[in-house]
Amino acid sequence: MAPKIVIVGSCMIDFTCFSPRLPKPGETLIGTRFEKGYGGKGANQCITAAKLGASTALIASFGSDTFAQEYLEILKKENVDISHVKIQKDKHSGNAHIVVAENGENSIVIVLGANESLTPEHADSAIDMIKSASVLLCQFEVPLETTLHALKLHQGHGFSIVNGAPALKNFDSEILRLCDIFCVNETEAEVITGIQPIDLSNVQQVADKLLDKGCNAIILTLGPLGAAYASKTNRNVTRIPTTKVHPVDTTGAGDAFLGALAYFKAYHPQLSMDECIRRACVVATQSVLKFGTHASFPTKNDLPIDLFI
């Protein structure tokens, strides 16, 4: 059976240092511990959906290194379809260097590596899978021409979500017109719209600017404040709050939200968008209570049963 959720996106090896706080420019801090993990927005979102019980597939690009082989085993264990994951010769796998402070804040530098070699032709090789997907989920961590091509292949065949991360100031606005939902956090929205700082007082202004750029619908994730939603059919922003918690690590929370949103759109299509967002916020909030990315993403059994009714 064809996967219901197809992710065209990135895979990263995460090298994480834990520190009392984030370093200032030019400053060296002594950290408390180090961990190697597995991330990348595409793979994170895919694994979130898979852990919730979704049938998923990942279209991605790895380097020819041991990290790739380790990651492929992880994806297999989560029952992710990896038939269109490509190994690139003479490339290293993408990697992310993360610092996590004691208060849960993080800073991240990524090197895309083999992710830059994910081409439109690669998407073409998975055309049947993309067209049959209930939900297509993409990000900005792979070449935008590939994201755009995947959206064109999927158009008219299901629901599509684009995560505009990492943020780009200028990009082809056709991406906004082709996807059903464009999702960004406050920092990404600041880069794309030029509005800063973003807070609850100006989310309507942010939504209006993104809708004017061509978005069909916009979700602005607001961390502990939940999310805001607006669309062409109803431009008035709706804010969906979430439960307040004491986070231990916010790394991957946005990915948990998007993977969960894809899950609810694919498996509970009768739900309103507001309710899909509310449920995705619950999953994302749960993820910040544990360290890491994949390890922090909850399974169906970790969550209230009423999320899946």
Single out the residue of 106, 112, 140 nearest to residue 251, CA to CA: 106
Peptide bond into 247 cis (omega under 30): no
The residue behind tokens 């993977």 is 259
Residue 96: per-residue pLDDT? 87
Furthest C-alpha separation in the chain: 53
What average pLDDT does range 49-59 have in this prediction?
98
Single out the residue of 14, 21, 18, 7 nearest to residue 60, CA to CA: 7
**In percent, how much of the chain has pLDDT > 70?**
100
Partners of residue 4 on adjacent β-strands = none
What average pLDDT does range 18-29 have in this prediction?
95
For residue 110, is pLDDT > 90?
no
Residue 291: per-residue pLDDT? 85
From the candidates 172, 208, 255, 306, which is the catalytic residue? 255
What average pLDDT does range 172-183 have in this prediction?
97
Burial 77-112 (b: 16+ CB within 10 A, else e): ebebbbebbeebeebbbbbbebbbbeebebeeebeb
Is residue 103 situated within a structural domain?
A: no
Residue 108: per-residue pLDDT? 86
- H helical segments located in 114-202: 120-124, 127-132, 144-154, 174-178, 186-193
Helix and strand tally (H, E) in the chain? 10, 13
Structure confidence by residue, pLDDT tens digits, 263-285: 999 999 999 999 999 999 999 99
The residue behind tokens 């979102």 is 45
Peptide bond into 166 cis (omega under 30): yes
Domain housing 127? 5-11+40-93+113-308
Structure confidence by residue, pLDDT tens digits, 207-243: 999 999 999 999 999 999 999 999 999 999 999 999 9
| Rounded CA separation 252/272 (Å) | 25
What does pLDDT average to over the chain? 95
Count of the separate structural domains present in the chain: 1
Is residue 239 situated within a structural domain?
A: yes
Contact criterion met (CB below 8 Å) for 120 and 145: yes
Stretch among 50-54, 83-87, 97-101, 128-132 having the lowest mean pLDDT:
97-101
What average pLDDT does range 93-110 have in this prediction?
90
What average pLDDT does range 103-127 have in this prediction?
93
Residue 151: per-residue pLDDT? 98
Is residue 31 situated within a structural domain?
A: no
Structure confidence by residue, pLDDT tens digits, 121-168: 999 999 999 999 999 999 999 999 999 999 999 999 999 999 999 999
Is residue 156 situated within a structural domain?
A: yes
| Rounded CA separation 292/123 (Å) | 29
Residue 62: per-residue pLDDT? 97
Is residue 18 situated within a structural domain?
A: no
Say how many residues make up the chain: 309
The residue behind tokens 């998923």 is 56
What residue type is assigned to position 63 of the chain?
Answer: G
CATH number at residue 292: 3.40.1190.20
Is residue 107 situated within a structural domain?
A: no
Is residue 105 situated within a structural domain?
A: no
255 catalytic per annotation: yes
For residue 92, is pLDDT > 90?
yes
Helices 273-287 and 253-267, interaxial angle, to 10°? Answer: 140
More confident residue, 35 or 181: 181
Peptide bond into 143 cis (omega under 30): no
Is residue 34 situated within a structural domain?
A: no
Residue 162: per-residue pLDDT? 98
Residue 1: per-residue pLDDT? 73
